[in-house]
Chain A
């Protein structure tokens, strides 16, 4: 079945550590996105990529990094520079054709302990 998969579903991190969230899609989509969701604040765009080996900062990129070495994969690293990383992270993908919907993964809940 085609889809977009995030892993893990729950992640715990100690303060000062980097952690990487996985996002994989087999929909042959060109565009991929990372969002952060906090209660009452909706979805805030962290990074997005419209093509392999290229990505752009979103609205809240500080403290995060991404890579897009393969079309199928868009991992997000939450670095120790991110001051408040505890949140729900959502990955999405869409076709390069702007007339199509975006598909979402089930999310990763990151908690800093």
Chain B
């Protein structure tokens, strides 16, 4: 069945790199997404990667995709306190139902 899984918590120190991991089961998705949710707010698209790419870099963000292992990761370089939030990975397989992971709560300590 369709499933997207993430670890629930990650704690890092300010200035370190953060790596948030995600595994998914449906390989039919054309794009895979990372969303960010700040407290009490909706989700905002952070970045996405096309399924035939291995890596995408966007300023401090690096997305790595291992399609063989169905593994997606988001690396945040030089993590800041403002990066503290919940991060969701998501996919839209053929059939159109948007599927999210459980979300990873990133805590950045000064």
**A105 at the B interface (CB under 8 A):** yes
Q: Which of B19-47 contact A (CB under 8 A)?
A: 29-31, 33, 35, 40-45
Report the separation of the CA atoms of residues A96 and B96 in the bound assembly, to the nearest whole angstrom.
8
Please determine whether A99 and B31 come into contact, CB atoms closer than 8 angstroms: yes
**B12 at the A interface (CB under 8 A):** no
Bitwise, B81-103 to A at CB < 8 A (1) or not (0) is 00000001010101011111111
Residue of B94, B97, B102 with most partner-chain A CB within 10 A: B97
Report the separation of the CA atoms of residues A6 and B48 in the bound assembly, to the nearest whole angstrom.
25
User: Within 8 Å CB of B33, what residues of A?
Assistant: 101-102
| 9 interchain residue pairs of minimum CB distance | A42-B102, A104-B42, A104-B43, A43-B100, A42-B103, A106-B42, A101-B45, A107-B42, A99-B30
Please determine whether B101 and A92 come into contact, CB atoms closer than 8 angstroms: no
The total of interchain contacts (Cβ-Cβ below 8 angstroms) comes to 61
**B8 at the A interface (CB under 8 A):** yes
Please determine whether A107 and B94 come into contact, CB atoms closer than 8 angstroms: no
Please determine whether B98 and A33 come into contact, CB atoms closer than 8 angstroms: yes
User: Within 8 Å CB of B45, what residues of A?
Assistant: 101-103
* A side interface size, CB within 8 A: 26
Our pick among A41, A58, A90 for the contact of B42 (Cβ within 8 Å) is A90
Q: Which residue of chain B has its CB nearest to the CB of A39? A: B105
Q: Which residue of chain A has its CB nearest to the CB of B44? A: A104
Please determine whether A107 and B40 come into contact, CB atoms closer than 8 angstroms: yes
User: Within 8 Å CB of A6, what residues of B?
Assistant: 42
Q: Which of A92-113 contact B (CB under 8 A)?
A: 92, 94, 96, 98-99, 101-107, 109
Report the separation of the CA atoms of residues A42 and B22 in the bound assembly, to the nearest whole angstrom.
13
**Contact A101:B42 (CB < 8 A) given known A40-B8, A45-B97:** no
Q: Which of B44-95 contact A (CB under 8 A)?
A: 44-45, 48, 88, 90, 92, 94
Please determine whether B30 and A90 come into contact, CB atoms closer than 8 angstroms: no
**Contact A41:B90 (CB < 8 A) given known A50-B96, A101-B48:** no
